[in-house]
Amino acid sequence: AATEVKSNLDVTVDEFQQSIVRHLHVSLGTDENKANSKAWWTATCAAVNELVFERATQTQKTHYKKDTRAVHYLSLEFLMGRLLKNNLTNVGLTEIAQQALDKLGLDFHKICEEEPDLALGNGGLGRLAACYVDSLATLDFPAIGYGIHYEHGLFTQAFLEGRQVERPDSWREYGNPWEICRPESVQEIPLYGYVETKYDDKGQIHKEWHPGRIIKGVPWDIPVVGYGAKTVNILRLWESRASDFFNWDVFNAGGYLDAQVENVQAETISKVLYPNDNTDAGKELRLIQQYFFCACSIKDIVRRYKRAHGDDWSKFAEQVVMQLNDTHPAIAIPEMMRILVDRAELKWDQAWTICQKVFAYTNHTLLPEALEKWSVRLFEKVLPRHLEIIYEINSRFLEDVVEVAFPGDDSVKRKLSIIEEGHEKMVRMGNLSVIGSFKVNGVAEIHSKLVKKDLFPEFNSLWPDKFTNVTNGVTPRRWLKSCNPKLSNLISEHVDADWPVHLNKLSKLADLATDSKFQKAYMQIKLENKIELAKVIKELTGVEVDPTALFDIQIKRLHEYKRQQLNLIHIMALYRRLLQNPDYDMPKRVFIFGAKAAPGYYMAKEIIYAINKVADKVNNDERIKDKLKIVFLPNYRVSLAEKMIPAADVSEQISLAGKEASGTGNMKLALNGAVTIGTLDGANIEIAEEAGEDNVVIFGLTVDEVKELKSAGYNPWDYYYANNEIKAVLDWFDCDYFTPGKPGELAEIKRSLLDYGDTYLSLADFASYSEAHKKIDKLFQDEKTWAKMAIMNTATMGKFNSDRSILDYVQNIWNLDTCDIK
């Protein structure tokens, strides 16, 4: 078909249909009569895999033969979502599969709905990793993603009387068709124990770590199919198991049950993803997770290198680059030193030179509570040898680098030291990452500036060339082509069919932005997408919404800095205006939320509850005649995002300036024709630059103004007393208007905005936000203007293709060559 990618996988509908049926029989042991939807889904995946695995093997073989330099993307999170539809898109077989299932009397979309999300991530950072492995494969770069094979991904969310409850996510309870176990590549990982200092006959010092425990790391591979299916890279996820070898003694001593207890502890390591987002958990198990997967990955990398180069380490840094997805895998740096110094017996300087050429670090946040620190005491217990190595890295750095650049300046030394002195000594993973890496990047222009200016100013003056920017991107294959097929088909009627890999080609649509025929077609598709979402809303919440209303969407993790509470108080203000004046001029509006709160984040959960309670009241208030609806869709995740994003009219990107490193949902929404209402934060700034001022609505304080206001002494009460609407809305939280019979149940929201100081300046930005919404209302009521804005957003988002981000990484950091796979 014309709109599909041309891939090298030629299969007819009949062949694909036969393959599905064959797998139903030989892989699943069932037949057409007994099979349920889940079985058909599994068989369809198997039919796809038959094509994909071959390419994966071919890719690995070619990379090995050509001995290519490769990037190793180390990340605690890969938020992959569903893979069937995406893999079909990328191998160009969506229409073939659709027809094959059709002939079997099955509905393609229903079969796709059987797939559980691969939710091995929390939010932006994990989803970015998933987009990047997609782009790396699409662009034919040798790359491997390394992470943890969590048994339970991010919890699923339900609402119980408006409050979030968490349930475990079991994505592979009955097996998952995309993964292959690789027992031949198992690794053994040491933990705990003590370090012995030895001297050889030449008086040379040697450190020997006697671990207290050995854990087995079992790799599972998931194929990552590039668009066009030339390169199929792999995502390698490590599962922890008890080491049989280590437990022998215990067994023989008759301690069968004790051994089982140790097994449970070992298997706990990869049991569950920590559900924090932008806060540090500081838990021992988390440190062990980090070390476990870094150590497994480095052993894997070293094994592969040695197969080609033996014991000659001189080419290692030419062949290997490891990208650290935030500081979470920073323990890889001292682990690499340990392998080189203790195991390969390289001299320290030689080892350090290699290390500093191999690692690069991406920073994803400036929030102080998210900057990782581990207590020295914990380190000493879990990773005693690594603590020694960190001390050595630190003292050499302080003497050879800091003392030379800032002679005698103890205060600079205190700031740059990896060790934070205090009543409890801490290891600062950010400082370790900067010192051990050859490049450090932020994820949007403004964020990278702040990384240099506010987070690491002294490091930046030591090594100005180390710091750089790579603005985030998203894969247009999943986030346009596959999730919004109707708009994709319309685009393909007007733009070269290869726009999914050359997203800048969308700029051609700008010529059509005022063409009334195109506007009609474009807005008709938006309406159809909204009708689809309205059905989902009805199914999930029971609320009926009018698809012709303005759909205003805020989807992201629930965090105070992202300011869902600002959205809420503004909605309450609208409600109040409607109550006071039933003729208040505004288009029908539906406010839609999707967000999970970290289970231990009290205020985030209160905000969810407040939104649900206000929604209950407003949605059932006949006085406002359906002019305002509020829905909070439960269990926001990648597959739900794929249904929401194509239906958005307005995209809420309202973080306090300086707090959102980049954002990536902002890009996905704009690409699908949503108009951004946003602050000058993260990638919003670059989105506004690309789309043009007329096609976004910007409001609120700038980064500089935030700093000014904070240093002048921000007092939220000033805004409360000066603005009647703010006062009235906040006072509403004190009574039982939204929580009948339970007055004050929502009062924590008011307290956080007044008594606790309104950390993220919601009240300071309220008036400006309210004006911005009035502007949106006017623009939306003018259909032609709105259509033009929506189209211009799609037309100008080419920059935010993750392929562009990857090419930036390749040129500025990784220095890779593409590798053609036959």
Span near ligand 26M by CB under 6 A; candidates 178-186, 233-241, 279-287, 710-718: 279-287
What is the DSSP code string of 508-552? GGGGGTT-HHHHHHHHHHHHHHHHHHHHHHHHHH-----TTSEEE
Min CB(602)–ligand 26M separation in Å: 17
Q: Tell me, yes or no, if 271 is annotated catalytic.
A: no
In the complex with ligand 26M, the residue whose CB is nearer, 499 or 800, is 800
Among positions 463-482, residues that touch ligand 26M (CB under 6 A) are 472
Query: What single string gives the DSSP state of each residue in 542-573?
Result: -----TTSEEEEEES---GGGTHHHHHHHHHH
Question: Using the rule CB under 6 A, which residue among 117, 151, 280, 300 binds ligand 26M?
Answer: 280
- The closest of 363, 335, 320, 331 to 69, measured between CA atoms, is 320
Among 552, 660, 690, 758, which residue sits at the site for ligand 26M (rule: CB under 6 A)? Answer: 660
The string of DSSP letters for 327-371 reads: STTTTHHHHHHHIIIIIS---HHHHHHHHHHHEEEE-----GGGS
Torsional class of 240: left (φ above 0), alpha (ψ -120 to 50), beta (otherwise): beta
- CA-nearest of 273, 180, 296 to 232 is 180
Closest distance of CB 76 from ligand 26M, Å: 7
**661 interacts with ligand 26M by CB under 6 A:** yes
Q: How far is the CB of 760 from ligand 26M (least distance, A)?
A: 14
CA distance linking residue 293 with residue 150, whole number of Å: 11
Residues 116, 123, 217, 226: which binds ligand 26M (CB under 6 A)? 123
Q: Which stretch binds ligand 26M (CB under 6 A): 119-127, 170-178, 249-257, 532-540?
A: 119-127
CA dist 822 and 809 (Å) reads 25
Residue found by looking up tokens 């043009």 in the block: 692
Nearer to ligand 26M, 323 or 488 (CB): 323
Where do we find the tokens 């906040």? Answer: 730
Residue 392's SS3 state is: helix
What sign has the CA pseudo-torsion 272, 276, 280, 281? negative
Q: How many residues in the chain? A: 822
When asked if residue 802 is in the footprint of ligand 26M (CB under 6 A), the reply is: no
Give CA–CA dist 529/553, Å, rounded: 14
Interface residue with ligand 26M among 124, 436, 678, 700 (CB under 6 A) is 124
Any contact of residue 788 with ligand 26M (CB under 6 A)?
no
Name the minimum Å distance from CB 661 to ligand 26M: 4
Stretch that binds ligand 26M, among 41-49, 304-312, 364-372, 606-614 (CB under 6 A): 364-372
Q: What kind and span of H or E run contains 631?
A: strand 628-632
- Catalytic one of 304, 452, 530, 562: 562
556 is an active site residue: yes
- Cβ neighbors of 463 (< 8 A, separation 6 or more) are none
Q: Which is nearer to ligand 26M, 663 or 716 (CB)?
A: 663
Instruction: Give least dist CB 130 to ligand 26M, A.
Output: 11
Phi-psi region of 770 (alpha: psi -120 to 50; beta: other; left: phi over 0): alpha
**Rounded alpha-carbon distances, angstroms, from residue 199 to 30, 203, 206, 345, 668:** 65, 5, 6, 14, 59
Nearer to ligand 26M, 128 or 341 (CB): 128
Distances (CA, A) of 99 to 15, 27, 102, 226, 735: 11, 22, 5, 23, 58
Q: CB of residue 685 vs ligand 26M: minimum separation in angstroms?
A: 13
**Nearest approach, Cβ of 273 to ligand 26M (angstroms)?**
8
32 in helix, strand or coil?
coil
Please, which of residues 136-195 interact with ligand 26M by CB under 6 A? none
Residue 278 makes contact with ligand 26M by CB under 6 A = yes
Residue 129 binds ligand 26M (CB under 6 A): no
Number of residues that bind ligand 26M (CB under 6 A): 23
Cβ 278 to ligand 26M shortest distance, Å: 5
User: Does residue 637 bind ligand 26M (CB under 6 A)?
Assistant: no
55 catalytic? Reply is: no
Smaller CB separation from ligand 26M, 449 or 508: 449
Pick the stretch among 24-32, 117-125, 184-192, 718-726 that binds ligand 26M (CB under 6 A). Answer: 117-125
**According to the binding rule CB under 6 A, does residue 321 interact with ligand 26M?**
no
**Which of 162/473 has CB closer to ligand 26M?**
473
276 binds ligand 26M per the rule CB under 6 A:
yes
Stretch 398-437: interaction string toward ligand 26M, x if CB under 6 A: ----------------------------------------
Residue in 156, 327, 471, 664 annotated catalytic: 664
SS (H, E, C) 725-779: HHHHHHHHCCCCCCCCCCCCCCHHHHHHHCCCCCCCCHHHHHHHHHHHHHHHHHH
By CB under 6 A, the residues from 679 to 718 that bind ligand 26M are: 682
Residues 6+ apart with CB under 8 A from 466: 434, 437, 438, 439, 440, 459, 460
What six digits make up the tokens of 405?
């650049």
Among 125, 222, 294, 574, interactor with ligand 26M by CB under 6 A: 125
Which of 664, 676, 796, 805 is the binder for ligand 26M (CB under 6 A)?
664
Closest CB to ligand 26M among residues 470, 772: 470
Any contact of residue 365 with ligand 26M (CB under 6 A)? yes
Tokens of 280: 């540090």
| Binding region for ligand 26M (CB under 6 A) out of 272-280, 500-508, 727-735, 797-805 | 272-280
Query: Least CB distance from residue 596 to ligand 26M, whole Å?
Result: 12
Q: Helix 37-66 and helix 84-91: axis angle, to 10°?
A: 50
| Bridge pairing between strands 78-81 and 118-120 | antiparallel
Q: Which of 23, 82, 152, 364 is catalytic?
A: 364
* Stretch of 124-132, 300-308, 528-536, 733-741 lying at the interface with ligand 26M (CB under 6 A): 124-132
Question: According to the binding rule CB under 6 A, does residue 277 interact with ligand 26M?
Answer: yes
Distance between CA atoms of residues 573 and 736, nearest Å? 17
Site for ligand 26M in 431-460 (CB under 6 A): 443
Q: Are 588 and 627 in contact (CB under 8 A)?
A: yes
Amino acid at 645: I
Beta carbon nearer to ligand 26M, 600 or 757: 600
Taking the complex as a whole, the smallest distance from the CB of residue 752 to ligand 26M amounts, in Å, to 20
Segment 257-263 long-range contacts (CB within 8 Å, at least 24 positions apart): 262/213
Cβ partners under 8 Å of residue 403, min gap 6 = 413
Closer of 49 and 278 to ligand 26M (Cβ): 278
Pick from 165, 276, 170, 278: nearest CA to 635 = 165
With CB under 6 A as the contact rule, the residue among 122, 233, 323, 805 that binds ligand 26M is 122
Residue number of the CB atom closest to ligand 26M: 124
**Is residue 274 part of the contact set for ligand 26M (CB under 6 A)?**
yes
774 is catalytic: no
Q: Is 664 a catalytic residue?
A: yes
Q: Of the candidates 52, 119, 47, 53, which has an alpha carbon nearest to the alpha carbon of residue 82?
A: 119
- Catalytic residue among 63, 304, 526, 668, which? 668
Q: How far apart are CA 116 and CA 786, in angstroms?
A: 36
Tell me whether residue 668 is one of the annotated catalytic residues: yes
Q: Of 13, 28, 250, 281, which one interacts with ligand 26M (CB under 6 A)?
A: 281
Please identify every residue annotated as catalytic.
364, 556-557, 562, 664, 668
Residues that bind ligand 26M (CB under 6 A): 122-125, 128, 274, 276-278, 280-281, 286, 364-365, 370, 443, 472, 660-664, 682
